[in-house]
Chains A and B, each alone.
Chain A
Amino acid sequence: GAVVSQHPSWVICKSGTSVKIECRSLDFQATTMFWYRQFPKQSLMLMATSNEGSKATYEQGVEKDKFLINHASLTLSTLTVTSAHPEDSSFYICSAEPGLIQYNEQFFGPGTRLTVL
């Protein structure tokens, strides 16, 4: 089946630093990738939709200058949390949609837990 990986699986950083999270589709090409965040005991909230080779589309209320998304290839999208603060601590999950074959579903990564001290 289609596999999506994320790296790192968890990260702890100091307030004010930037953190980059990678999302890779391992065995398929993904023209579209999605980034979600999940707070404890909450549902997933879509942050942005990332299309390969173009700018990401951010959901209302998500700061595009704070959450930088780069979808440089058909198998890799990155999310950079710039100048992270404790309120950015969350579980970040990416998903990918295969481009060539109509799977009619998204495949999710295992998530990255970010803790900002």
Chain B
Amino acid sequence: GNSVTQMEGPVTLSEEAFLTINCTYTATGYPSLFWYVQYPGEGLQLLLKATKADDKGSNKGFEATYRKETTSFHLEKGSVQVSDSAVYFCAPDPPGAGSYQLTFGKGTKLSVIP
């Protein structure tokens, strides 16, 4: 089956620090890979995605590269801001016909302090 292992939090960083949130997955075939963000009191928002090997997804200064050889999709940001404080979810979506069914990681809570 499909599963995802995400770095456990909470993670607390000072503003402008470098961020890495690890994510590895197991899936049949070559899934599309997503990072979602959930700000306090809100629903999920798509942060970035990559649909094939070596693709790099990027948005709002965040990046993640689809690494087929290590089945990983680590999230990085060079300089975090207080407004980045949120919970981040890694989610692979296995390929195949029909609707996409995401498998979510447990989420990593990030707190950025001034």
Contact = CB atoms under 8 A, between A and B. Distances in A.
Contacts of A110: 42-43
Contacts of A41: 109
B83 to A, nearest CB: 18
Q: Is the interface of B mostly helix, strand, loop or mixed?
A: loop
Q: How large is the interface on B (under 10, 10 to 19, 20 to 34, 35 or more residues)?
A: 20 to 34
B49 A105 contact: yes
Contacts of A104: 32, 49, 51, 100
A80 B47 CA distance: 30
Nearest to A4: B43
Contacts of B25: none
A107 B34 CA distance: 12
Nearest to A112: B43
**Which among A34, A43, A49 has the greatest number of chain B C-beta atoms within 10 A?**
A43
**Which among B51, B99, B101 has the greatest number of chain A C-beta atoms within 10 A?**
B99
A57 B22 CA distance: 32
B89 interface: yes
B100 A43 contact: no
Given A42-B106, A43-B89, A43-B106, A108 B100 contact: no
Interface of A: 6, 32, 34, 41-46, 49, 51, 93, 95, 97, 104-111
Interface of B: 32, 34, 36, 42-46, 49, 51, 89, 99-102, 104-107, 109
